[in-house]
């Protein structure tokens, strides 16, 4: 797992400094939501979000998504991005805790309770896992 984490891509913070380059770079993660209340004539709203995505290990991300999908019983159409918040998927605190437990088992790590409650997005989970896995590898476990 140590070699996996060193291949992790990291966007440099300087991308935030220039607005122009930000706009272009921010298209790495795009979320389009188009919704309308059927039969009601309620206006449809499109929420478009541009985010710079610090790309966590894609394999970690995939496993996190699988565990999240399983815990929350998501339909295959439900889109999961790194920025997706668990709460936005209908996860309550018990779901989040169960997800963390599932991740601990999958990656053989131990998440501090304080850290686990800071995990709000898929990316938070993946980042924390990568960090813990790397720490474990460095400790020679």
Partner 1 sequence: MKMRCCFQRSFCSASSSLVPVQLPSPMETHFWYVLPDQVKSVSLLNQYMGLLSPIEKENVLSMPGHQLQKRALLARALVRTTIARYQINGHVDPRSLKFKKNIHGKPEVVWQSEDGWCQPHLHFNISHSSSMIACGVTSNSRIGIDVEEKQRKIKNNILAFARRYFSLHEIEYLSSISDSEVQHQEFIKLWTLKEAYVKALGKGFSAAPFKTFTIHVKTDYKRSFVLAEDLLFEASEIMVESLNDPKSLTSSWQFALLELVGSHYAAICMEKDKSIKVGMKVPVRLTAWKTIPFVEDECVSGTDAVIPIGGLIKL
- In the chain, the N- to C-terminal Cα span, in Å, equals 12
Please tell me whether residue 89 binds partner 1 under the rule CB under 8 A: yes
Which member of 76, 114, 139, 141 binds partner 1 (CB under 8 A)?
114
Please give the helix or strand (H or E) that residue 9 lies within, else none. none
The span of 7-15, 56-64, 73-81, 124-132 binding partner 1 (CB under 8 A) equals 73-81
What is the rounded distance in angstroms from the CA atom of residue 68 to the CA atom of residue 76?
Answer: 12
Sign for the CA dihedral angle at 105, 108, 112, 114 comes to: negative
CB 9 within 8 A of CB 58: no
Binding mask 7-46 for partner 1 (x = CB under 8 A): --------------------------x-x-xxxx-x--x-
Please tell me whether residue 66 binds partner 1 under the rule CB under 8 A: no
Closest CA to 98 of 59, 68, 120, 129: 68
What is the rounded distance in angstroms from the CA atom of residue 10 to the CA atom of residue 6?
Answer: 10
85 or 135, CB closer to partner 1? Answer: 85
As given in the structure block, the two tokens for residue 34 are 């188009």
5 or 86, CB closer to partner 1? Answer: 86
List contacts with partner 1 (CB under 8 A).
Answer: 33, 35, 37-40, 42, 45, 47, 70-71, 74-75, 78-79, 88-90, 92-94, 97-98, 101-102, 104, 113-114, 117-118
């Amino acid at each position: 797992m140590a070699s996996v984490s060193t291949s992790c891509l990291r966007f440099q913070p300087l991308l935030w400094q220039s607005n122009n380059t930000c706009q272009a770079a921010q298209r790495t993660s795009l979320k389009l939501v188009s919704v309308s209340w059927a039969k009601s004539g309620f206006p449809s709203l499109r929420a478009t979000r541009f985010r710079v995505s610090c790309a966590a290990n894609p394999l970690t991300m995939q496993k996190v998504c699988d565990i999240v999908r399983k815990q929350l019983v998501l339909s295959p159409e439900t889109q999961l991005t790194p920025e997706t918040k668990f709460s936005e998927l209908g996860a309550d605190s018990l779901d989040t805790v169960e997800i963390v437990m599932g991740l601990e088992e999958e990656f053989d790590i131990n998440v501090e309770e304080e850290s686990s409650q800071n995990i709000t997005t898929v990316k938070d989970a993946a980042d924390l896992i990568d960090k813990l896995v790397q720490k474990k590898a460095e400790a020679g476990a």
